């Protein structure tokens, strides 16, 4: 079955850290760009970060730049999001998404999404 | 604050046609492909339209996308009760060097 499964969410205090994982199966993970997208309670979708097919190119939303790091482990078919210096406004459901693009450095639509993992930043 | 503006809501009766607009700028819609996603809260979003007007396999032809200049639109014809959801446009923004989503439109089937 083709799927993306996120994990690693939970409750963390402001200023704390958390690492999200996204396990991919049913497709050749190494061949596609990937992204993280979040949705805060009562708000719309917000793109967070993207990583190219090779992992050599990464992009971040201004709201997380310098605090979050996206990475991928091709041997484990897993996407990660390391989140540091967390703030209350980072509270959201975090989705990982598979890009249509199989060309390194090119980003396109998200044709597969996980079910999401909830991150709550609160004291 | 999103750089892509959508109407907050749209509605129609079963069988009607509903259109959702998405307004951007030259740095995003004006230069890049537009995508449309359907999202039911608590579930995984679903890709409806890619590259302005292309439908992934399995998406009914009741859904259609178009783009003109710095704006895009999604049309849903033959509205059905299962179409009730939030709809988002999205694209790459060259100035921001990242994806941007629209503000989202909640579609209600009356």
* pLDDT less than 70: residues of chain B: 1
A chain contacts of residue B100, beta-carbon cutoff 8 Å: 47
For testing contact with chain A, the best of B99, B101, B102 (most A CBs within 10 A): B99
Give the β-pairing of A10-12 and A117-121.
Answer: parallel
Instruction: Specify the pLDDT at position B42.
Output: 84
What pLDDT, in 10s, does the model give residues A62-86?
999 999 999 999 999 999 999 999 9
Retrieve residue B70's tokens. Answer: 């710095």
Looking at per-residue confidence, does A122 or A102 come out higher? A122
From the list B47, B98, B100, the residue facing A111 with the nearest CB is B47
- Count of A–B CB contacts within 8 Å? 61
SS3 A85: coil
Put simply, the answer to whether B47 touches A109 (Cβ < 8 Å) is yes
Retrieve residue A42's tokens. Answer: 């009562």
What pLDDT, in 10s, does the model give residues A8-29?
999 999 999 999 999 999 999 9
Tell me the C-alpha to C-alpha distance, in Å, between residue A115 and each of A112, B40, B41, B48: 10, 11, 10, 17
Q: How far is A2 from chain B (nearest CA, A)?
A: 14
Rounded mean pLDDT, A85-102: 96
Instruction: Specify the pLDDT at position B1.
Output: 67
């Amino acid at each position: 079955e083709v799927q993306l499964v996120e994990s690693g969410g939970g409750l963390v205090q402001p200023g704390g850290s958390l690492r999200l994982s996204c396990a991919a199966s049913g497709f050749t993970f190494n061949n596609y760009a990937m992204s993280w997208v979040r949705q805060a309670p009562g708000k719309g979708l917000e793109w967070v970060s993207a990583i190219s097919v090779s992992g050599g190119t990464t992009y971040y939303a201004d709201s997380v730049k310098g605090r979050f790091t996206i990475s991928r482990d091709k041997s484990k078919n897993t996407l990660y999001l390391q989140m540091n210096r967390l703030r209350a406004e980072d509270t959201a459901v975090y989705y990982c998404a598979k890009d249509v693009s199989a060309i390194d450095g090119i980003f396109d639509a998200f044709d597969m999404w996980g079910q999401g993992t909830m991150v709550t930043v609160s004291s | 604050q999103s750089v892509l503006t959508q109407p907050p809501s749209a509605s129609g009766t079963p069988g009607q046609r509903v259109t959702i607009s998405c307004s951007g700028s030259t740095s995003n819609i004006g230069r890049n492909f537009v995508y449309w996603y359907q999202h039911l809260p608590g579930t995984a979003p679903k890709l409806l339209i890619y590259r302005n007007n292309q439908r992934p396999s399995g998406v009914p032809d009741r859904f259609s996308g178009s783009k003109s200049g710095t704006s895009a639109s999604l049309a849903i014809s033959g509205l059905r009760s299962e179409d009730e959801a939030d709809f988002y446009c999205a694209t790459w923004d060259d100035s921001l060097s990242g994806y941007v989503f629209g503000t989202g439109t909640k579609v209600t089937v009356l």
